[in-house]
Amino acid sequence: MKINRHRLTGIPQTPSQNFDERPEPEDISLLVIHCISLPPGEFGNDYIDQLFCNRLDPGQHPYFEDIYQFKVSAHLLVKRDGSCVQYVPFDKRAWHAGKSVYEGRERCNDFSIGIELEGTEFVAYTDQQYIQLAIIIQALLENYPKLSTQRLIGHSDIAPGRKTDPGASFDWQRLLGLLK
């Protein structure tokens, strides 16, 4: 997988308007793994795209009434079948981490890349997701010199008590084994 102009080549680009400029564009130094499903526990629909692109209809599901106005995004989504969508170029600040701290540094969106996995904290992620995630991370490591496997964390690590993703169902050792 290649990165050209801060975008993965060969995957769909679904631009979100929920991003802005990074304060230090060269400081891309953290990878944050998330999970998302909409409605919770349901997979294989386009509600995540709708949320990240501000098109989620609150009338489609009762859960959406509480979230449809959120202005959020991630750089990437890896679906259950391993296919990917990119919403925000890597050199821009996606709005994925919220209130967050890493090694004493606040506002992790400023210096991180956010990757969402279609899933929940309690359902095993798929083989295809692990394989695709490893391929993506390898491309990111090759293109952004401040990134490393030591700076690969879950959303729960930077927002403890507020976030739990990617959860107990995510196998960190499996991912790291694929990156060797």
Active site members: 116
- At position 171, the amino acid (one-letter code) is D
Residue 24 tokens, joined: 């230090």
116: Cα separation from own chain's centroid: 3
Residue pair 63/143 in contact (Cβ under 8 Å)? The answer is: no
Closest CA to 165 of 92, 114, 89: 114
DSSP 13: B
Residue pair 84/77 in contact (Cβ under 8 Å)? The answer is: yes
Cα separation, 150 vs 10, whole angstroms: 28
